[in-house]
Amino acid sequence: MKHIDLNADLGEGCGDDLAIIPLLSSANISCGAHAGTEDDILTALRACQQHQVCVGAHPSYPDRANFGRLPLALTPAALTESLQQQLHYFQQLAKKAGVRMAYIKPHGALYNQAAVDGDLAALIVDLVKTHHPDVALLTLPDSALSQSAKAAGIAVFHEAFADRAYQATGQLVPRSQPGAVLCHQAALAQSLRLIDTGTVVSIDQQEIKLQADSLCVHGDSPEALQLVRELSTALQQASVSIWPFIGSAA
């Protein structure tokens, strides 16, 4: 039987977290640097504990004004310090909620840059290996972060996006470009195609192969809850089980 992990970016104070979480197998919870109050984060973490959803930290550039979706020109030392603070804060809240941090998934511009920038990927991997050696990374397949993590002996898992368009290179279409965020029906169709064939069609109509352990829906999307509900139902109808790609919630 086929299976896939279903994850969403949550704890950001802008989505229907409590309705989405029971439908997921993993959740990427904000570390507070790009969005979300402490109450938003704790509420999401406690819901994950209640529903036995695997928990990942979702650190970002410290830029709440732009939701962490624009690159910041930080020195490596300043970025490392920010990420260390975010992950320490997250672990304190996770402990309070009775869950463990099973993996780390960078957010927004940090995620996209680490997919193509070897130096940034190495910085993130060095931080994880030094301070969180038993924690996995979740990133794009065939990315600089994936390659760096594998070389360092860190467990790495790969995700595809239900609601984002792809370039022919396998990278995401930048949000600044038209068509970068898929409508509900296109997202559902892309997801089912990926699970069935291991391929997606890029924005310029090229078929590309994607290896995915997990499928992501952005929790801040207005259609997130509807998409997760319909995707969950469609997967069950297609005899595809929704399983966490790593660990357990507690």
CATH of domain 2-161+212-219: 3.20.20.370
Contact 240, 4 (CB under 8 A): yes
pLDDT at 223: 82
* Domain ranges within the chain, ordered by starting residue: 2-161+212-219
pLDDT at 248: 41
pLDDT at 249: 39
pLDDT at 247: 59
pTM > 0.85: yes
Residue position matching structure tokens 């469609």:
234
Q: What are phi and psi of 168, to 5 degrees?
A: -65, -20
Q: Which residues of the chain have pLDDT under 70?
A: 247-250
Distances in Å between the Cα of 140 and the Cα atoms of 50, 219, 236 are 29, 18, 25
